[in-house]
Amino acid sequence: MADGTPDPQCLIVADADVLVRNALAEYLRHCGYKVFEAATSDEVVIALEEGTLQIDALLADADLAGRYNVFELRIWVKDHHPGVEVVLAGNVDAAAKAAGQLCDEGPHLKRPYDPESVAAHIKRLLAATRGQKR
Amino acid sequence: MGAQTILVVEDEFLIRFMLADSLRELGYQVLEAVDGDEGFAILLTGQAVDLIVTDVRMPGTIDGMDLTRRSKSLAPARPVIVCSADLLRSESHPADEFLTKPYSFEALAGLIARLIGDPWQTVPQIHSA
């Protein structure tokens, strides 16, 4: 950038559950990242193939839907975008922990709050939605 | 005072991303949903949402018009802007505003500022002596 400020590192948070995706993405934005939210592997492919978005890492849920399952997606990313780090998470706690580790390496080098708080927040949101749907 | 929160509901990834990113640049807090079902799930959590911007035609069981009606039943005063290329839908709709696609971001930002205010105006002004 012209003023010498580095561009923020860019991440994709890919999760089929909007409540999990939103919370993880917001946490990582507080850590200084620019975050793209993707609901399916197809959206991840669109983001990576778009060309102008400089993606540094992908945090993906193990149950991600779409043209590729998450393991096929990992292979596709490694083949087509080898510079993109892929982090897989199997559940909310693992995803929050992975987000916390990304935060430790992130532009701000500081966590806004503990990953355990992110996981607890997501579980509260999920419980609230399930309670409303009953 | 925190920034106003906007829920953006749009199934086209790049449009959703560009829109959400531009609104964040303006200082708004933005929640993203890929369809009406996800948008309604967010509303059901009780998270504070000050305004909704939604596409009309989307995959899933809830389209933009239905999402608008459901939002109005939960929070009648919460403004909703629907965006569609289908001019026929603009004649009768439950939303506060109808934006015809294609639209400029400036037009949308102006509508949002009119409906819920400009986030920069909520920041205390520092006056020099």
Q: Catalogue all structural domains in chain A, each as residue range(s) with its CATH number.
A: 10-133 (3.40.50.2300)
Chain B, nearest residue to A17 by Cα: B38
**Domain boundaries, position B40:** 5-119
Tell whether the model's pLDDT for residue B107 goes beyond 70: yes
Give per-residue burial for A77-110: e unless 16+ CB within 10 Å, then b. Answer: beeeeeebebbbbeebbbbbbbbbebbeebeeee
Query: Is B85 inside a domain boundary?
Result: yes
In angstroms, the separation between the Cα of residue B13 and the nearest Cα of chain A is: 6
In angstroms, the separation between the Cα of residue A128 and the nearest Cα of chain B is: 5
The 10s digit of each residue's pLDDT in B23-73 is 999 999 999 999 999 999 999 999 999 999 999 999 999 999 999 999 999
The pTM score is: 0.89
Mean pLDDT of chain B: 90
Q: Which of B50, B88, B33, B43 is nearest to B70 (CA)?
A: B43
Nearest to B45 among A39, A50, A129 (CB): A129
The 10s digit of each residue's pLDDT in B68-80 is 999 999 999 999 9
Tell whether the model's pLDDT for residue A105 goes beyond 70: yes
Tell whether the model's pLDDT for residue B12 goes beyond 50: yes
Cβ of A128 within 8 Å of Cβ of B33? The answer is no
Question: Which of A88-92, B72-76, B122-126 bottoms out in mean pLDDT, i.e. has the lowest?
Answer: B122-126
Burial class (CB in 10 A: 0-12, 13-18, 19+), B126: exposed
Instruction: Choose, out of A7, A10, A22, A33, the residue to mutate when testing the contact with B (most B CBs < 10 Å).
Output: A22
Query: Is B124 inside a domain boundary?
Result: no
Q: Mean pLDDT throughout A89-109? A: 91
**Which residue type occupies B81?**
I
Residue by residue, DSSP assigns B48-82 as ---EEEEESS-SSS--HHHHHHHHHHH-TTS-EEE
ipTM of the complex: 0.86
Q: Mean pLDDT throughout A94-121? A: 90
Query: Is B128 inside a domain boundary?
Result: no
Q: What is the pLDDT of residue B129?
A: 39
B77: how many CB neighbours lie within 10 A of its CB?
6
Query: Is B129 inside a domain boundary?
Result: no
User: Does residue A102 contact residue A115 with C-beta atoms inside 8 Å?
Assistant: no
Q: What is the pLDDT of residue B2?
A: 67
Residues of B in contact with A29 (CB under 8 A): 24
Q: What is the pLDDT of residue A1?
A: 41
Confidence of residue A5 (pLDDT cuts 50, 70, 90): low
Cβ of A18 within 8 Å of Cβ of B42? The answer is yes
- CATH number at B66 reads 3.40.50.2300
Residues of B in contact with A36 (CB under 8 A): 17
Q: How many domains does chain B have?
A: 1
In angstroms, the separation between the Cα of residue B36 and the nearest Cα of chain A is: 11
Q: What is the pLDDT of residue A91?
A: 93
Confidence of residue B111 (pLDDT cuts 50, 70, 90): very high
Backbone angles phi, psi at B27, to 5 degrees: 110, 0
Mean pLDDT of chain A: 90
Q: Which tokens sit at A41?
A: 């592997």
The 10s digit of each residue's pLDDT in A9-18 is 999 999 999 9
Q: Which of B24, B58, B27, B5 is nearest to A35 (CA)?
A: B24
Query: Is B126 inside a domain boundary?
Result: no
Q: Which of A76, A87, A18, A90 is nearest to A47 (CA)?
A: A76
Q: Mean pLDDT throughout A25-49? A: 95
Residues of A in contact with B34 (CB under 8 A): 18, 39, 43
The 10s digit of each residue's pLDDT in B84-99 is 888 766 677 889 999 9
Q: What is the pLDDT of residue A106?
A: 83
Q: What is the 3-state secondary structure (H, E, C) of chain A?
A: CCCCCCCCCEEEEECCCHHHHHHHHHHHHHCCCEEEEECEHHHHHHHHHCCCCCCCEEEEECCCECCCCHHHHHHHHHHHCCCCEEEEECCHHHHHHHHHHHHHCCCCCCCCCCHHHHHHHHHHHHHHHHHHHC
d(CA A75, CA A121): 32
Q: Specify the DSSP element, H or E, that contains B33.
A: strand B29-33
Nearest to B34 among A34, A39, A129 (CB): A39
Cβ of B45 within 8 Å of Cβ of A39? The answer is no
Confidence of residue A52 (pLDDT cuts 50, 70, 90): confident
